[in-house]
Structure 1
Amino acid sequence: MSRTRLERTDAIATLWLDRPDKRNAMDAELVKELGDAFDAIAADRSIRVVVLRGAGPVFSSGIDHSLLTGVMQTSRTQPFAHIHHQLQDTFHRMTRLQQPVIAALHGVCLGMAFEFALAADIRIASEDCVVGLPEIAFGLVPDVGGTTRLVRAAGEPRARELIMTGRLLKARTAERYGLLHEVVGPADDLAARISKRATHLASLSPAALGLAKTLCQASADSGGATSFRLEGVVQEALMMQPDLLTRFPSGLAFIKAMVADAE
């Protein structure tokens, strides 16, 4: 039985974690299906935006214990680095997508699930959501990109405190720490807000969005001089788009509307 579900609404693809009876716990099969889905999305240019959702009352409770015990057992006969790379690469495949990825979080999003969400471009949660990386309670650390991405999102001092204590956060606190981009009211409001964000992103230039995403990722890993140069390289490529001038009227209308709707 499939553990994920991919739905299409025009140019927006919604990828569901679909194990509500298991609180969308992430087992080996679910992780494999995620990787396959990201590969399919990467190859489909008609998809302009990706939304991550969890079926049922929570986004995801985190890693399924069967996956954790399986990794421990397999590491006795195979190099742990190889197994570890395979897990990390699934989330890396999402970060390599040229399409923007929005994680819509509700209920709880813990451990490996929050590592998954941290790999998304935009994280929006309902105010009832609780997030965090409690791996330290099991004598472990977040290792599927969670430590690295938490440091980048919240800064090293805050990330160190959260990882060492395993402290869980309500959505409003997580937003204040820079771990969430937006918090909405009741969970019922989440779908409407996600739809508005996704529809807006789908209306923008796919080339500009993809290169903007790549540029930000590269700048985070580069020194200042390299990052400044990358800005010019990316802009030069975008200025060669044959339809660029035709976008100016809609661009001006967009700015006017955003000024009126600024938050």
Structure 2
Amino acid sequence: MPHTLSVDAPEQGVRLITLQRPEALNALNTQLLDELAAELALAEQDAETRAVVLTGSRKAFAAGADIKEMAERDLVGILEDPRVAHWQRIAAFSKPLIAAVNGFCLGGGCELAMHADILIAGEDARFGQPEINLGIMPGAGGTQRLLRAVGKSLAMQMVLSGQAIDARHAQRAGLVSEVTLPELTIERALAIARVIAQKAPLAVRLAKEALLKAEDTDLASGLRFERHAFTVLAGTADRAEGIRAFQEKRRPEFTGR
């Protein structure tokens, strides 16, 4: 059992992972990232899990990297940092990942939230990349994902000043899809996960992959991938079931085939 996370299955097809390092505002140390990567790998392999919600506490989603652990690393330790592999495993997760963010979402915490496909934020959420205040810079995708999410000007402002933005600002900028009351953040994220979990798994996976292609490829290449994925799905049992259920005016029963 993980020591820095709790894992539940509150809905059919949905897994809820909660960061639990309250004494450090869920600061991301090596152990937490290792356990999170392992839990996502289990969710990836579990056919019954069709969407994952990731959250923290009401006070903090994650307040950043563990500064105490960071201070103990010399240059060799940084170059051989095992957390790099953990971040890569988290980034490789192919099922829908929804982040439910309350409170502080800073530094590594903001970078972790940006690994999610959908971000739901409580009104008290604060997003930022304050690494510049320590004489360093984001190192887990913060400069790359933030710019793609909010645009050059705001990303530059956040990274170079170290100043955070609130949930409404994050929503207007495109970092967050919805803002809720803090007490409803997880509930809303689970509701979205429940809807996604009822869809055809293969279609969801390929649709996610196609959308992500749009971030790192040209339009022509993205359109080719989209058309290929569409064609692949045309031969699935779930497509036949979806059309049949629509014609019969009933809920489809997708099997992932």
Give TM-score scaled by structure 2 length.
Answer: 0.89
Contact 2:200 2:238 in 1 (8 A): no
Tell me the equivalent position of 2:47: 45
1:51-130 equivalent positions in 2, closer than 5 A: 51-55=53-57, 57-70=59-72, 72-73=73-74, 75-76=75-76, 80=79, 82-83=80-81, 86-130=82-126
Instruction: Determine the C-alpha separation between the residues in 2 that align with 1:174 and 1:94.
Output: 23
Instruction: Determine the C-alpha separation between the residues in 2 that align with 1:96 and 1:213.
Output: 12
Tell me the equivalent position of 2:38: 36
1:26-56 deviations in Å (ceiling 9; x for gaps): 1111111111112211111110010001135
Contact 2:96 2:205 in 1 (8 A): yes
Tell me the equivalent position of 1:7: 8
Tell me the equivalent position of 1:195: 190
Instruction: Determine the C-alpha separation between the residues in 2 that align with 1:3 and 1:211.
Output: 31
Contact 1:129 1:171 in 2 (8 A): yes
Instruction: Determine the C-alpha separation between the residues in 1 that align with 2:132 and 2:38.
Output: 30
1:180-206 deviations in Å (ceiling 9; x for gaps): 111012x11213212211111111111
* Pick aligned residue for 2:136 from 133, 140, 144: 140
Instruction: Determine the C-alpha separation between the residues in 1 that align with 2:23 and 2:69.
Output: 17
C-alpha spacing 1:179/1:56, structure 2 compared with 1 (3 Å): closer
Tell me the equivalent position of 1:159: 155
**Amino acid in the other structure paired with 2:53:** V
Tell me the equivalent position of 1:214: 209
Name stretches of at least 5 consecutive residues in structure 1 with no aligned partner: 255-263
**Amino acid in the other structure paired with 1:166:** G
Deviation larger for 2-11 or 233-242: 2-11
**Amino acid in the other structure paired with 1:11:** G
Name stretches of at least 5 consecutive residues in structure 2 with no aligned partner: 251-257
1:98-134 deviations in Å (ceiling 9; x for gaps): 2100000001111100000011000001101111111
Contact 1:4 1:34 in 2 (8 A): yes
**Amino acid in the other structure paired with 1:240:** G
How far residue 251 of structure 1 moved from its aligned partner, in angstroms, is 5.9
Contact 1:94 1:120 in 2 (8 A): no
Contact 1:23 1:58 in 2 (8 A): yes
How far residue 95 of structure 1 moved from its aligned partner, in angstroms, is 3.2
1:194-236 deviations in Å (ceiling 9; x for gaps): 2211111111111011111111222321122211111111111
Instruction: Determine the C-alpha separation between the residues in 2 that align with 1:164 and 1:241.
Output: 48
Counting aligned pairs with the same residue, the percent is 30
Deviation larger for 155-164 or 205-214: 155-164
How far residue 79 of structure 1 moved from its aligned partner, in angstroms, is 7.1
After TM superposition, which residue ranges in structure 1, 4 or more long, deviate above 4 angstroms? 249-254
3-state DSSP of counterpart to 1:34: helix
C-alpha spacing 1:23/1:91, structure 2 compared with 1 (3 Å): same
Give TM-score scaled by structure 1 length.
Answer: 0.87
Question: Is it true that 1:238 corresponds to 2:227 in the alignment?
Answer: no
**Amino acid in the other structure paired with 2:51:** V
Contact 2:57 2:102 in 1 (8 A): no
How far residue 153 of structure 1 moved from its aligned partner, in angstroms, is 0.5
Tell me the equivalent position of 2:255: none
Report the RMSD for the aligned CA atoms in angstroms.
2.0
Instruction: Determine the C-alpha separation between the residues in 2 that align with 1:140 and 1:176.
Output: 28
Contact 1:105 1:124 in 2 (8 A): yes
Instruction: Determine the C-alpha separation between the residues in 2 that align with 1:92 and 1:121.
Output: 16
| Residues matched between the structures, number | 247
